Structure 1
Amino acid sequence: MQLTKHTDYAIRVLIYLNTQVDQAPLSKATDIAELFGISFNHLTKVIHHLGKAGFIQTVRGKSGGIKLAKPANTINLGNVIEVMETTLSPVNCQDPPCRLNSVCLVKPIFHKAMQAFLDELRKHSLADICIAKSDDVWKVTLDKPIELS
């Protein structure tokens, strides 16, 4: 399964906000959009969704911004994925209607795999995927991804 950009951006925002917990009271969406090279308009939709779900707090106005609504170790990755994705169904046999529907056994296998995927994500929190709580992490340019053991 490939997550949508919407969910990808949501996870990036949460990671960023976790690095800012001790840095600034509120983060600006414009700064996040610029840092990640994300459309500001698209990012505001992601932020709105994260706020409605209770993962972040949003403050409107000139001195407004966003921050985590709760500690990173209480933000469950499985919950974030479930809230941000519009569908978690791995296959759509209805649109267009599949002629193999009555003889195909792939759908239950895919659903089992999706459940295993979500079960694994539910074992982890935002804190588990954040290696640093500092602005310094955004100044580092990585040639290759960090490998975790």
Structure 2
Amino acid sequence: MRLLASTDIALRLLMLLAREPPGQHVSVDVLAQKLGGLSRHHLHKIVQDLTAMEVTRTVRGAGGGVLLARPAGKIRLGTLIRRLEEGQAVVECFKSGGCDCTFMPRCRLRGMLRDAQHGFYQGLDEHTLADCLPG
């Protein structure tokens, strides 16, 4: 399974924030720099999405920034990635509008892929953001 680039960035962003002391915020500019010089605009969009999901909080004004909305140990990876990847089809036949596959509706591969996707998320459900941090 391949994750969206924005999901990858969101995960790395959250890992950076999880390394900060509780309640400490970091500016988007500093985060963009730490993430390899990412576009501030692109990172801001990801922060908006994470804030809408109540995973991060923002502090406005001069000296403002981003921080985790709850402890890293309370952020389940499976739940987080499901929400970040919402609406993304693994293969064409998973799209809500259907597809032109000649094997539909009797395709057996589709069920196998759905099971594999479920297993992928189920495995991630066992871990939190805190588990991602270096020891």
Normalising to structure 2: TM-score of the pair? 0.89
**Corresponding position of 2:123:** 120
**Corresponding position of 1:136:** none
Aligned-pair RMSD on alpha carbons? 1.7
Runs of 5+ unmatched residues, structure 2: none
> Which stretches of structure 1, 4 residues or more, deviate above 6 A after TM superposition?
none
Asked whether the equivalents of residues 58 and 67 of structure 2 are also in contact (C-alpha less than 8 Å), the reply is yes
Residues 21-76 of structure 1 show CA distances to partners (whole Å, capped at 9, x for unaligned) of 25x72101111111112211111111001111011111121121011111110010
Compute the displacement of 1:88 (Å).
4.8
Distance, in Å, in 1 between the alignment partners of 2:127 and 2:3 is 17
Percent sequence identity is: 31
**Corresponding position of 1:33:** 32
Asked whether the equivalents of residues 21 and 67 of structure 1 are also in contact (C-alpha less than 8 Å), the reply is no
Q: Residue type of the partner of 2:26?
A: S
Distance, in Å, in 1 between the alignment partners of 2:78 and 2:128 is 8
- Are 1:98 and 2:97 matched, yes or no? no
Of residues 115-124 and 38-47 in structure 1, the stretch that sits farther from structure 2 once superposed is 38-47
Distance, in Å, in 2 between the alignment partners of 1:45 and 1:18 is 19
Residues 71-125 of structure 1 show CA distances to partners (whole Å, capped at 9, x for unaligned) of 1100100111011113254222256411221342110000000000000000000
Q: Residue type of the partner of 2:121?
A: L
Distance, in Å, in 1 between the alignment partners of 2:133 and 2:80 is 15
Asked whether the equivalents of residues 76 and 128 of structure 2 are also in contact (C-alpha less than 8 Å), the reply is yes
Q: Residue type of the partner of 2:117?
A: M
Normalising to structure 1: TM-score of the pair? 0.81
1:124 is paired with a residue of what secondary structure? Answer: coil
**Corresponding position of 1:56:** 56
Runs of 5+ unmatched residues, structure 1: 133-149
